[in-house]
Chains A and B, each alone.
Chain A
Amino acid sequence: MSPALEIIGLEKTYASGLQALKGIDLKVEEGDFFALLGPNGAGKSTTIGVICSLVNKSAGTVRVKGIDIDDNFPAAKRHLGIVPQEFNFNVFETVEDILIHQAGYYGIPLKTALERIDVYLEKLGLEDKRQTRARMLSGGMKRRLMIARALIHEPSVLILDEPTAGVDIEMRRSMYDFLREINASGTTIILTTHYLEEAESLCRNIAIINHGTIVTNTSIKNLLRELHREIFILDSREVLPKDLSMDGFTLSRKDDYCIEAQIDQGQDLAELMSRLHERGVSIISMRNRENRLEQMFVSLLEQAS
């Protein structure tokens, strides 16, 4: 079976002389949930631009489901759904018109398009916005509209370029659920994002790009195994002692009941607990430092609803 996406020696040099891509190789297997990570200007959007024909490549090969874009780009495009970083629809058109037009550009007749619009607007929580002009939508709704638009021709490969930028936490969570659902139904998903926690939560495999070259390309599990240090938040039952210094561990006191502990690879968490206990500190809860506020926010929203 052909990979969903195969990139070999892809190069892009802009007219300004900027070499955005310096011969990248990438393979995304069918059905994968793949993250392409990197800082601003790393080459993520340029790579996506080449794949979807908005950027002319300087050299290299791109195959979508085994179809070389140089041989038959229209056939390759049929397999691709693109959710760009920036809003790129006519804000004066209604949600329904935007979707009808996009379906039409893929040769999908109006009747079929309308049936699919029903499905995707409902799944993405936009069914009551059908006749609303796009400029009246909130940022999160616009993002969901772009996802619906990318799915209207039912592509087998969905590429999302920072889809959660500007989306509130609750909406981000529901977007994650939706993406997991369509991935489970067989759609290959390629996601670019700045947020490692987003990739960690959604993706199985990952490539990190920087300065136009692929720095690493592995599974998320392998990448996390390579983490040399994790930071935990420990909550104590009792008021913490003033001095928390401890040989072999880096601890800092966040407040009277809370410790931040850096645990390096190979260090024993049980030993830390034991030594804290010896000093009269009973740990009642522990978690990774990342996403504490996010979890609390979602929890509060759920309680409120």
Chain B
Amino acid sequence: MTVYEQCVALLTLMRKEFRRYTRIWSQTLLPSAITMSLYFLIFGNLIGSRIGEMGGVSYMEFVVPGLIMMAIVTNSYANVVSSFFGSKFNNSIEELLVSPTPNHIILLGFVSGGVSRGMLVAVIVTVVASLFVDLNIHSYGVVVAVVAMTAILFSLCGLINAVFANTFDDINIVPTFVLTPLTYLGGVFYSLELLPEFWATVSQANPLVYVVNAFRYGMLGVSDVSVGFAFIMIAAFTLVAYWYAAHLLRTGRRLRT
């Protein structure tokens, strides 16, 4: 395919993905707004007002970056895992596989869907958060970079999950039993300084720690880990996920017989 034709194929996939999740906006965009409003109200406002400061800022301000990031992670992941597995389930993935569309365009197309939904939800959640707290951005560059890299990383993870999934139950196992615990233990609601030294060290293996803290630095200028190191870790996780997802598409594992 020429570069122009590849661009057409990519735009087609992006259009398809965008139309898919906006068509069912009440299942894809609205739940995050409601869930995060409840988090802000209960943890930030009601309970948070009794906690006081954390990391040098009010508890409400402290949890906002983590909650926005939580919405990005879950939505970018959910978008790709459900879309790709749905295509596998109804065999419409064959439309793509029999076409000359290169694997990297297929990958980019699905990831673009996940990234755009993650970012759209991030905007919605940020607007909701602004109703509860005055938001200040410490570094726009860090915020944009972390949001983009995180959405790409978890979109890729969603695609990998979808390739291996055989049933709709399989696409819920990872978000429920892996992603959610990692998010809660990734410092969304607390500073790693509160943990005993052993558990603080164990937390370093959790990719969500880097994502949440880098984003918190971008918004508040405070972080439990070095921002530079956080970027290196997110980039490393992203590269590994991209390589593996591309490998799965190239070999046709679970897609071709």
A residues with CB within 8 A of B: 14, 49, 52-56, 73-75, 77-78, 80, 82, 84, 86-91, 97, 100-109, 149
What distance in Å separates the Cβ of B248 from its nearest Cβ neighbour in chain A? 14
Inter-chain contacts of B257 with A (CB < 8 A): 14, 49, 54-56
Beyond A75-B100, A86-B91, A88-B94, whether A53 also contacts B8 by CB under 8 A is no
14 pairs, A vs B, C-beta closer than 8 Å: A56-B252, A56-B257, A74-B100, A78-B100, A97-B16, A101-B12, A104-B11, A104-B12, A105-B100, A106-B100, A107-B100, A108-B8, A109-B8, A149-B95
The CB with the most chain B CB atoms within 10 A, among A56, A90, A91, is that of A90
Inter-chain contacts of A87 with B (CB < 8 A): 91
Of A56, A88, A102, the contact of B99 (CB 8 Å cutoff):
A102
Report yes or no: A77 in contact with B92, Cβ–Cβ below 8 A.
no
C-alpha gap A54/B96 in the complex (Å): 10
Inter-chain contacts of A103 with B (CB < 8 A): 12
Given contacts A53-B97, A54-B257, A101-B95, 10 further A-B contacts (CB under 8 A): A52-B98, A54-B97, A55-B256, A56-B252, A77-B98, A88-B95, A97-B16, A104-B11, A104-B15, A105-B13
Report yes or no: B101 in contact with A105, Cβ–Cβ below 8 A.
yes
Inter-chain contacts of B102 with A (CB < 8 A): 74
C-alpha gap A101/B6 in the complex (Å): 13
Report yes or no: A90 in contact with B90, Cβ–Cβ below 8 A.
yes
Report yes or no: B91 in contact with A88, Cβ–Cβ below 8 A.
yes
B191 within 8 A of A: no
Among B4-36, those with CB < 8 Å from A are: 4-6, 8-9, 11-13, 15-16, 19
Report yes or no: A88 in contact with B8, Cβ–Cβ below 8 A.
no
C-alpha gap A129/B238 in the complex (Å): 43
Beyond A74-B100, A101-B16, whether A56 also contacts B256 by CB under 8 A is yes
The CB with the most chain A CB atoms within 10 A, among B1, B100, B256, is that of B100
B87 within 8 A of A: yes
What distance in Å separates the Cβ of B12 from its nearest Cβ neighbour in chain A? 3
Consensus secondary structure, chain B interface: helix
B residues with CB within 8 A of A: 1-2, 4-6, 8-9, 11-13, 15-16, 19, 86-87, 90-92, 94-102, 252, 256-257
Report yes or no: B256 in contact with A54, Cβ–Cβ below 8 A.
yes
Inter-chain contacts of B95 with A (CB < 8 A): 88-89, 101-102, 105, 149
Report yes or no: B98 in contact with A82, Cβ–Cβ below 8 A.
yes
Beyond A54-B257, A77-B99, A78-B100, whether A89 also contacts B92 by CB under 8 A is yes
Name the 10 nearest CB pairs between A and B, nearest first: A107-B5, A104-B12, A74-B100, A105-B99, A88-B91, A77-B100, A90-B92, A52-B98, A88-B94, A107-B8
C-alpha gap A80/B94 in the complex (Å): 14
Of A53, A74, A80, A88, the contact of B256 (CB 8 Å cutoff):
A53
* Nearest CB in chain A to that of B24: its residue: A92
What distance in Å separates the Cβ of A57 from its nearest Cβ neighbour in chain B? 10
Inter-chain contacts of B96 with A (CB < 8 A): 105
C-alpha gap A56/B252 in the complex (Å): 9
Report yes or no: A106 in contact with B87, Cβ–Cβ below 8 A.
no
The CB with the most chain B CB atoms within 10 A, among A55, A102, A104, is that of A104
What distance in Å separates the Cβ of A214 from its nearest Cβ neighbour in chain B? 21
Report yes or no: B256 in contact with A106, Cβ–Cβ below 8 A.
no
* Nearest CB in chain B to that of A106: its residue: B99
Of A78, A100, A107, the contact of B6 (CB 8 Å cutoff):
A107
Inter-chain contacts of A100 with B (CB < 8 A): 12
C-alpha gap A86/B90 in the complex (Å): 10
Inter-chain contacts of B16 with A (CB < 8 A): 97, 101
Report yes or no: B9 in contact with A84, Cβ–Cβ below 8 A.
no
* Nearest CB in chain B to that of A109: its residue: B8
C-alpha gap A86/B100 in the complex (Å): 21
What distance in Å separates the Cβ of A60 from its nearest Cβ neighbour in chain B? 16
C-alpha gap A105/B102 in the complex (Å): 9
C-alpha gap A54/B99 in the complex (Å): 11
Of B1, B12, B90, B252, the contact of A88 (CB 8 Å cutoff):
B90
Beyond A88-B90, A88-B92, whether A107 also contacts B2 by CB under 8 A is yes
Inter-chain contacts of B1 with A (CB < 8 A): 74, 107
* Nearest CB in chain B to that of A52: its residue: B98
Report yes or no: A107 in contact with B4, Cβ–Cβ below 8 A.
yes
Beyond A74-B1, A90-B87, A107-B2, whether A54 also contacts B13 by CB under 8 A is no
What distance in Å separates the Cβ of A49 from its nearest Cβ neighbour in chain B? 7
* Nearest CB in chain A to that of B95: its residue: A102
Report yes or no: A104 in contact with B13, Cβ–Cβ below 8 A.
yes
* Nearest CB in chain B to that of A80: its residue: B98
Inter-chain contacts of B92 with A (CB < 8 A): 88-90
Inter-chain contacts of B90 with A (CB < 8 A): 88-91
What distance in Å separates the Cβ of A40 from its nearest Cβ neighbour in chain B? 17
What distance in Å separates the Cβ of A74 from its nearest Cβ neighbour in chain B? 4
Report yes or no: B100 in contact with A84, Cβ–Cβ below 8 A.
no
The CB with the most chain A CB atoms within 10 A, among B13, B19, B96, B101, is that of B101
What distance in Å separates the Cβ of A282 from its nearest Cβ neighbour in chain B? 58
C-alpha gap A49/B5 in the complex (Å): 25
C-alpha gap A107/B1 in the complex (Å): 7
* Nearest CB in chain A to that of B106: its residue: A105
